[in-house]
């Protein structure tokens, strides 16, 4: 995805500084995303029609990548299952099990039906994100905080015109506001403020919405920022190292701690380093008392550094095949559905096409204004651990972010989930 950094008169950074910055960024990525350079305001406005051009001096250009984080998470979980992991969705940790002072398991509760059960383990790894200190206090009631939380909010809007690039607009010396063409929509954000309290209570406030729209207005015309265009808003929590200072300036690094009972806790990091974090954690697990047998750990050491996730394939090739035969003997698959399946499932899209072929009802769209088909709902139920309507509408498909998770759609999804 091409990113434009607009340089306005009186802005926090000059054109020369930003030009040098994007060149260095491209150099660090071995110019794999294109050489960073400066662009004329007229050319940028042709690619982003809603770009404000008043007092626009220049536009710095760089390349980066984007993905759907929910789909990435699912494919990572699927890879774990294919390697022998047992996955429990909607399982809450209510307590830890101890043997002679060592953590040797966890007490769990099924959030869907209330069933309580436990798991014994030689080692327990606490990778619960913003809840990491909550579990550390289950291990040791006096455990000092290891992290602090930063809240980030986003808005999703319908686009008033096509965008061929994203905007990354400097707000001050430290913060940038983003406007990304994403899932046929426009994704705006993000905010950055310290958060205290129960992570489950994080939510977008009116203050967040106003801030995001106000900051977006630095570089985006008013007609694209109408509140009537907002289809969805969401907030999340960044896990940052503990310490003083502004959260916007804190390092986005990983914190690994070993507790009094031998539980290993890991928090922080980001998608671009998640494989490295995994290797680091496995090496630490292997060195802890009560570690798994050497032969159990040996496959970890042999893992290739570039192991593809399930479904990895060229989306253009997958979409072409779906369009040619669609996997169905009936009507040819719509182009937007084929592209959507190819980019969100890769080669696994053919499994969904097969479901649609076997049952024509599953080839129908979930909503006329979205590319998703009912085969995806059945696939989420049978192969992606979907238990609730939100699992499907918000975490397996894009229907919620498009503002299309209507009551009637939700009811039909619940019917499909109940048909096991």
pLDDT digits (tens, 9 = 90+) for 294-351: 556 565 666 667 789 999 999 999 999 999 975 555 568 999 999 999 999 999 999 9
Number of neighbouring beta carbons within 10 Å of residue 201: 7
Of 125, 134, 145, 176, the C-alpha closest to 240 is 145
Greatest C-alpha distance within the chain: 70
Q: How far apart are CA 62 and CA 52, in angstroms?
A: 19
Task: Check if the beta carbon of residue 48 is closer than 8 Å to that of residue 70.
Answer: no
Q: How far apart are CA 194 and CA 92, in angstroms?
A: 25
φ, ψ of residue 313 in degrees (nearest 5): -165, 160
Which pLDDT score, from 0 to 100, does residue 37 have?
73
Measured over the CA atoms of residue 65, residue 18, residue 44 and residue 160, the dihedral's sign is positive
Which pLDDT score, from 0 to 100, does residue 291 have?
58
Task: Check if the beta carbon of residue 21 is closer than 8 Å to that of residue 170.
Answer: no
Angle value at C-alpha 271, between 90 and 377, nearest 5 degrees:
45
Assigned token pair, 273 = 């380093």
Task: Check if the beta carbon of residue 106 is closer than 8 Å to that of residue 138.
Answer: no
Q: Which residues of the chain have pLDDT under 50?
A: 30-31
Question: 3-state DSSP call for residue 295?
Answer: helix
Percent of the chain's residues with pLDDT above 90: 69
Which pLDDT score, from 0 to 100, does residue 369 have?
97
Which pLDDT score, from 0 to 100, does residue 9 have?
86
φ, ψ of residue 210 in degrees (nearest 5): -65, -40
Residues of the chain with CATH 3.50.50: 69-158+190-306
CATH of 69-158+190-306, one of 3.30.230, 3.50.50, 3.30.360, 2.60.40: 3.50.50
Which pLDDT score, from 0 to 100, does residue 232 have?
98
Which pLDDT score, from 0 to 100, does residue 51 have?
97
- Give tens-digit pLDDT for 359-405: 999 999 999 999 999 999 999 999 999 999 999 999 999 999 999 99
């Amino acid at each position: 995805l091409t990113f434009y950094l607009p340089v306005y008169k009186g802005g926090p950074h000059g054109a020369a500084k930003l030009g040098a910055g994007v060149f260095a960024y491209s150099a660090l990525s071995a110019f794999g995303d294109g050489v960073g350079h400066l662009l004329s305001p007229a050319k940028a406005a042709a690619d982003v029609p809603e770009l404000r051009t008043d007092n626009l001096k220049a536009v710095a250009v760089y390349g980066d990548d984007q993905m759907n984080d929910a789909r990435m998470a699912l494919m990572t979980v699927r890879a774990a299952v294919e390697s022998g992991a047992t996955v429990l969705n909607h399982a809450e940790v209510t307590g830890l099990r101890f043997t002679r002072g060592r953590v040797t398991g966890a007490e769990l509760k099924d959030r869907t039906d209330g069933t309580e059960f436990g798991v014994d383990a030689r080692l327990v790894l606490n990778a619960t994100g913003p809840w990491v200190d909550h579990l550390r206090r289950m291990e040791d009631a006096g455990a000092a905080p290891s992290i602090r939380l930063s809240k980030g909010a986003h808005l999703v809007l319908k686009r008033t015109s096509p965008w061929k690039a994203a905007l990354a607009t400097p707000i001050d010396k430290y913060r940038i506001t983003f406007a990304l063409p994403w899932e046929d929509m426009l994704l705006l954000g993000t905010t950055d403020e310290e958060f205290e309290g129960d992570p489950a209570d994080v939510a977008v406030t009116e203050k967040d919405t106003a801030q995001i729209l106000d900051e977006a207005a630095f570089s985006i015309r008013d007609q694209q920022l109408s509140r009537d265009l907002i289809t969805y808003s969401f907030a999340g929590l960044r896990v940052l190292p503990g310490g003083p200072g502004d959260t916007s300036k804190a390092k986005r690094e990983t914190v690994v701690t070993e507790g009094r009972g031998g539980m290993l806790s890991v928090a922080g990091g980001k998608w671009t380093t998640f494989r490295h974090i995994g290797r680091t954690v496995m090496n630490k697990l292997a060195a802890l008392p009560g570690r798994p047998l050497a032969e159990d750990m040996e496959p970890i050491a042999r893992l290739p550094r570039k192991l593809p996730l399930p479904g990895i394939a060229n989306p253009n090739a997958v979409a072409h095949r779906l369009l040619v035969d669609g996997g169905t003997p009936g009507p040819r698959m719509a182009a937007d559905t084929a592209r959507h399946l190819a980019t969100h499932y890769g080669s696994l899209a053919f499994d969904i096409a097969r479901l649609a072929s076997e049952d024509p009802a599953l080839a129908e769209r979930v909503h006329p204004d979205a590319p998703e088909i009912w085969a995806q709902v059945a696939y989420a139920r049978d192969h992606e651990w979907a238990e609730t309507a939100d699992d499907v509408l918000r975490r397996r498909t894009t229907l919620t972010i498009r503002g299309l998770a209507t009551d009637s759609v939700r009811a039909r999804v619940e019917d499909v989930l109940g048909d096991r």
